[in-house]
Chain A
Amino acid sequence: MNLHKAPLYIPLKISSLREGLFLDRLRQMGLTPGSVISVVRGSVLGGPIVVNLGTTLIGLRLEEAAYIQVTEI
């Protein structure tokens, strides 16, 4: 499933990143295939979501989250 549709607080593994403009920045922030993340704040009124990656909290828009394919662990 795409990250923007993922449920809250469930551990997720990044399975792949779709090619696109944000790919480099997502990788630089540590959002790489194999990383374990969880959504800790969902989108409200189409606003950005917050993802917990290890010790980091990353805010990203739904458009960017849609580039990240995840699977539930």
Chain B
Amino acid sequence: MATNSLPKNILLAGNPNCGKTTLFNMLTGMRHHTANYPGVTVETKSANIKILNSDKQFVFIPCTDLPGIYSLDAKSLDEEVAVKTFQNQIESKDSTLLFYIVDSTNFPKSLNLFYELHKLGFKMVLVLNMYNLAQNKGYSINILKLSELLGVPVIKIEKRSQATVNEFKQHIKNFQKLPSKSETKNVLPPIEEVVAKSFYQPAINWAGFIQKADKYLLHPVFGPLIFFSIMAMVFQSIFSWSTIPMQAIENLMSNVAKFLGHTFPDGKINDLIVQGIMPGITGVLVFIPQIAFLFFFIAIMEESGYLARVSFMFDRLMQKFGLNGRSVISLIGGAACAVPSILSARTISNKKERLITIFVTPFISCSARLPVYAVLIALVVPKREWLIFNTQGLVLLGLYLLGIIAAFLSAWILNKFIKSDQKSFLILELPFYKRPTFEQVARVVWNKVQGFVLSAGKVILAISIVLWFLASHGPADRFKGIEQEFAGVELTDEQKSLKSSQKLENSYAGIVGKTIEPLIKPLGFDWKIGIALFTSFAAREVFVGTMSTIYSVGSENEQLLSEKLSEQKRPDGTPVFTLGVSVALMLFYAFAMQCMSTLAVVKKETESWLVALAQFAYMGVFAWVSAWMAYVLL
């Protein structure tokens, strides 16, 4: 088998939610996100499949996972992406292998698209995914008959294993033996005939469990009640369950910092590690438990099939705000991260509804805000247990609710201003309920935690180091003056603290903070908070690292950040972080669009800098006014 007998491209196509991405991950070793609702994949994903050719050499064949479609007649942006890929591949169809993935539990409906793709002339292999699930439900598919009727090889997937991967690879190696367009039937038998001859569906009430579950989960009163109870439990657990692992990480990092502090000789390197790098790293790692719990619950909702039902349940309500039932998936996803959530709005076919969804999704509190909230809540809300609730968890839930209210208020306003004649529709396939597997949920949690630590962590660490430099260095004349002022005497603790404070104020970071202070003074924020606001405009989670670095500079104290903040005083002796200032800060972070990635993805998805900048300005003004009102009133 020579390399030129292998396909040059492999495409994975099929209806939405048929398991394409799961197979793609299995074949390529990638870890792309999967979930149990239609429209998870909204853009093409490519990676190589490694094949051992006849010369015993490995060759890499590009494989593309396409968004799910029902037909080549695209209705939404994600569908257009898939259809365009087919159009682009037409020229090279003789060297392209198309694996057409079918959800075996939903076999008859999948044939429509197969027939359309068959006409295009690709060499195809039909893959019956979730075959064991179909068997468990009593369905039976005659594979030999199906292959004979459709004129293509048919393979079944019962479980994800190396044997399954090998079977796929065997078909890739047999590419040249696959029937080409001229060798296959030009006219396939009618779909009804294929279904009648190859598919058996038992006369049982297969939907019994689904109906019973949906009776309560989609109930007009119980449905929303159950949904909000689940969300309340999620936010409670984020605070209560993560306390012990967070404390353990803090203790560990504190001991590591002490060890490094004693290991390195006193001087710049020691200062950089203890006051710059370690607070930055701790600021990232300490929030891993909370991020993990958030994604644990989101993964369960996605994998179980519940999320699609939430879209369905709230469609009517969404319409009143110019949104669509599908917007719910973007909004709930926004609790994790706005970037993929804005991409997921591609499944909304109505342009106005899609634009409003994109515009309001960043109002939903994302996981990057969680560390900021955690520090500020611990600062001003005493931890008290009340029945099954704790006060800090309730305040966190309140902040998420505020984000939701801001999103709906903004959607309502936009709905009044944006005019559109395009008709909206919701024709949504509700997936089967599935028991989420430990492996799936663990993979989602691991990927998200890894993403947070590596992507956000790199930025936070880099900014922490830069900030340490800016906070411990300043114009030479200013620093020299301070040194002279405190020279020649043994300093008391109070004098040491005063010297550190003066140096920070006259450092480069202090100069930046002082410059923006007039803009934030009406909110009760001082120049130190200004530095944190300035640095976290790139990404919100930088706030905690910045505050840790600022308040560690010149300090030998190993306290928690919230404890350090509670001790900060203004020159007149009053505390900096009063209730008003802390709430104002929380509201500012809840509403301001402090995320470069979100700004970039909004520009990309709307193809307009105007929309992206208008959103940035709107959210900024919303945040400033809300923070100002909170400061004035409290």
The 13 sampled A-B contact pairs (Cβ below 8 Å) are A21-B423, A22-B425, A24-B73, A41-B211, A47-B316, A52-B207, A55-B106, A55-B109, A58-B427, A58-B428, A58-B429, A59-B315, A63-B425
Contact of B316 with A55 in the complex, beta carbons under 8 Å: no
Binary interface encoding of chain B residues 203-225 relative to chain A, with 1 for a CB under 8 A from any of its CBs, else 0:
00011001100100011100000
Binary interface encoding of chain A residues 36-68 relative to chain B, with 1 for a CB under 8 A from any of its CBs, else 0:
000011001111101011111111110110000
The complex places the Cα of A28 from the Cα of B109 at a distance, in Å, of 8
Q: Is the interface of A mostly helix, strand, loop or mixed?
A: mixed
The complex places the Cα of A53 from the Cα of B429 at a distance, in Å, of 10
Contact of B425 with A48 in the complex, beta carbons under 8 Å: no
Contact of A60 with B427 in the complex, beta carbons under 8 Å: yes
Interface residues, chain A, with chain B CB atoms under 8 Å away:
21-22, 24-30, 40-41, 44-48, 50, 52-61, 63-64
- Candidates B108, B425, B430; contact of A54 at CB < 8 Å: B108
Contact of B316 with A30 in the complex, beta carbons under 8 Å: no
Q: When A41-B218, A56-B109 are in contact, do A47 and B315 touch as well, CB less than 8 Å?
A: yes
- Candidates B107, B207, B211, B427; contact of A29 at CB < 8 Å: B427
Q: Does B64 contact A (CB under 8 A)?
A: no
Contact of B430 with A59 in the complex, beta carbons under 8 Å: yes
Contact of B425 with A57 in the complex, beta carbons under 8 Å: no
Number of A-B contacts (CB under 8 A): 93
Contact of A54 with B201 in the complex, beta carbons under 8 Å: yes
Q: Does B85 contact A (CB under 8 A)?
A: no
The complex places the Cα of A56 from the Cα of B218 at a distance, in Å, of 17
Contact of B207 with A57 in the complex, beta carbons under 8 Å: yes
Q: Does B296 contact A (CB under 8 A)?
A: no
- Candidates B70, B105, B112, B427; contact of A55 at CB < 8 Å: B105
Residues on B with C-beta less than 8 A from A50 are 214, 218, 312, 430
Best-surrounded residue of A40, A57, A58 (most CB of chain B within 10 A) = A57
Q: When A22-B427, A40-B207, A48-B315 are in contact, do A28 and B112 touch as well, CB less than 8 Å?
A: yes
Best-surrounded residue of A28, A29, A45, A53 (most CB of chain B within 10 A) = A28
* Minimum CB–CB distance for B578 against chain A, Å: 45
* Minimum CB–CB distance for B134 against chain A, Å: 8
Residues on A with C-beta less than 8 A from B498 are none
8 tightest CB-CB pairs across the interface, nearest first? Answer: A28-B70, A47-B316, A57-B430, A28-B71, A44-B220, A30-B109, A59-B312, A59-B428
Question: In B430-473, which residues have CB < 8 Å from any A CB?
Answer: 430
Residues on B with C-beta less than 8 A from A55 are 105-109, 137, 139, 201, 206
Residues on B with C-beta less than 8 A from A61 are 315, 425-426
Binary interface encoding of chain B residues 474-511 relative to chain A, with 1 for a CB under 8 A from any of its CBs, else 0:
00000000000000000000000000000000000000
The closest CB in chain A to the CB of B112 belongs to A28
Q: Does B322 contact A (CB under 8 A)?
A: no
Known: A22-B425, A59-B430. 8 other contacts (CB 8 A): A21-B423, A24-B73, A30-B108, A47-B313, A56-B109, A60-B425, A61-B315, A64-B426
Residues on B with C-beta less than 8 A from A45 are 220, 316
* Minimum CB–CB distance for A1 against chain B, Å: 20
Contact of A56 with B429 in the complex, beta carbons under 8 Å: yes
Residues on A with C-beta less than 8 A from B206 are 55
Contact of B207 with A60 in the complex, beta carbons under 8 Å: no
Contact of A30 with B425 in the complex, beta carbons under 8 Å: no
Q: Does B7 contact A (CB under 8 A)?
A: no
Best-surrounded residue of A21, A40, A59, A61 (most CB of chain B within 10 A) = A59
